[in-house]
Structure 1
Amino acid sequence: MTTTTKKRSFSKAKSFSAGTLTAEAVRSLLKKHVRGRFAQSSTLRSAKRFVEQRFAGELADSDILHHEGRLVLDELSTGRRPRIGLLIVEGDLVVKGRYEDSLDPESVVVVTGSLRAGDVITTGFLEVHGDLVAQQSILFLDNDACCEVFGDVRAPFVYTQYHAVKVHGGVEAQLVTGDAKHIRSKERHTFIEETDRRVRELLSPKLLKVFADEMFEDEEGEDVDPDEPWIDAIDSQKLAAFVRRGRPALAEAPRGRRRKPASRT
């Protein structure tokens, strides 16, 4: 059974709702740990806004959590009850399955170490001082929040749609697609437009089947030969639903031929 964001998952974390985290302590943590100043709606500004609302007795169903040290979870979804409005992890955050933050309700997650997960879906505010790493996919979605990574972003598949992302390190992936202008990195990385035939060749056949009706149309909306290279756009909602099921977005590499065992002499 998968452990989600239940209180026992954060047994060593201080909680505002539980009374183990004071307003003064939260303000001090924000001043100490939130470094990002990226985008018009910065992570720090959003964190301060949420904290003030929470201290005023609003948003009572969203908690503030602070964890010291390495935090390991089976799965993390900030929008599930009990909801997390602000999570600060002093150290690495390791999520064995899917990490997913939210925009409605809005969440702010700050990790002073690296964040590693099976898959990452981020629509809220995310700040990672180390590396952001996923075993399968990283999806940056929606345009009202932002993400800032002070290390590298690494995953087989990276997709961004309208989501402002600043990477101080590099972006390493087999496929990076979506909106090129919304992911900024000091180091150059290869970005492939959704309409490029290579995108279709790299994506999983099971994923292509999920949203084939939307993808393979011409500019007038007419169906085209599925062997033609035209790809209109990736349906981000269907893509996210596919990733939530733990499925890889990329096609599996062909298995190499097994070597025959060496003959004994």
Structure 2
Amino acid sequence: MPTTKHPGPKAKRLSTGTLTPEGVPSLLKRTVRGRFAKSSTLREARRFAAQRLAGECSDCDIIHHEGQLVLDELSTGRRPRMGLLIVEGDLIVKGRYEDSLDPGSVVVVTGTLRAGDVITKGFLEVHGDLIAERSILFIDNDACCEVFGDVRAPFVYTNYHAVKVHGGVKARLVTGDAKHIRSQQKYAFIEETTREVRERLSPKLLKVFADEMFEDEEGDEADPDEPWIDAIDPEKLAAFVRRGQSVLAEAPPSRRRK
């Protein structure tokens, strides 16, 4: 069965004329709420819409879907590309949700966004919760994400990507190269250079990072029992997640009471 990568025929598209140019400004005014960061989602959505309506960015579409949208997979950077996607309702992606920065994308979900994995480099705004079965990766520093509910996943990672969460961040491990997730509620953030992070990662992922992560400060090979974790390569991490792999080591089984 072919993988569904984009919204189906019920979605209105600028390219097909089912979404009219006159209706785009009012649609943005009604649905986009975010005001976070210098390059906010609303500002970027208006900028892209103006360019698209002026005849630029013709290879990137504006798409509007009303009601719950269920897809097998969603990638805004694949053809036909989505420059602006607005879902008025919940967005459920059975596999991976991935938006992009090049080409740029803006995604607004007025309900909850739920996926197997989330990789976001573009502008993302979620009015409900942002939930992933395995991992959520916030990558690159030129865009931002705003979530009005909770962020929930076993593994959450940020790489200089500004994230504002109005609810809480609930995960087994939240890490990255810097603390860029702002939340109304306190959460445990562990710097990726700590040994605790290494102990929580999947052995399969550690093999991917072995050549770069575990060196001492002089660049020599480190003692495996006392490693110096230099940095996580975000692109290698994203490639690992794209294969549907679990980033975290399996939790030890709980002891049964006698």
- Please give the secondary structure, in 2, of the residue aligned with 1:233: coil
Kindly name which structure, 1 or 2, has the bigger radius of gyration based on alpha carbons. 1
Q: 1:156 aligns with which of 154, 157, 170?
A: 154
Deviation of the 1:218 alpha carbon:
1.4
Output one character per residue of 1:171-199: Cα deviation in whole Å (capped at 9) or x when no partner: 00000000443110010000011111110
Q: 2:70 aligns with which of 69, 72, 94?
A: 72
- Paired with 1:97 and 1:63, the residues of 2 have a C-alpha distance of 22
Report if the CA contact (8 A) 1:180-1:191 is conserved: no
- CA, structure 1 residues 215+59, in 2 after alignment: closer, same or farther (shift >3 Å)? same
RMSD of aligned C-alpha atoms? 1.5
Q: 2:48 matched to 1:50? A: yes
Q: 2:214 matched to 1:216? A: yes
- Paired with 1:21 and 1:259, the residues of 2 have a C-alpha distance of 60
Deviation of the 1:26 alpha carbon:
1.1
- TM-score relative to the length of structure 1: 0.94
Gaps of 5+ in 1: 261-265
Counterparts of residues 15-94 of structure 1 (less than 5 Å): 15-94=13-92
Deviates more, 1:88-97 or 1:172-181: 172-181
- Paired with 2:238 and 2:89, the residues of 1 have a C-alpha distance of 27
Deviation of the 1:25 alpha carbon:
1.1
- Please give the secondary structure, in 2, of the residue aligned with 1:166: strand
Moved over 6 A (4+): 257-260
- Paired with 1:259 and 1:191, the residues of 2 have a C-alpha distance of 32
- Paired with 1:138 and 1:252, the residues of 2 have a C-alpha distance of 17
- Please give the secondary structure, in 1, of the residue aligned with 2:224: coil
- TM-score relative to the length of structure 2: 0.96
- Paired with 1:142 and 1:2, the residues of 2 have a C-alpha distance of 31
Report if the CA contact (8 A) 1:91-1:111 is conserved: yes
Instruction: For 1:98, give the aligned amino acid.
Output: R
Deviation of the 1:29 alpha carbon:
0.9
Deviation of the 1:219 alpha carbon:
1.7
Aligned length: 258
What fraction of aligned residue pairs are identical, expressed as a percent?
79
Deviation of the 1:223 alpha carbon:
1.1
Deviation of the 1:251 alpha carbon:
0.6
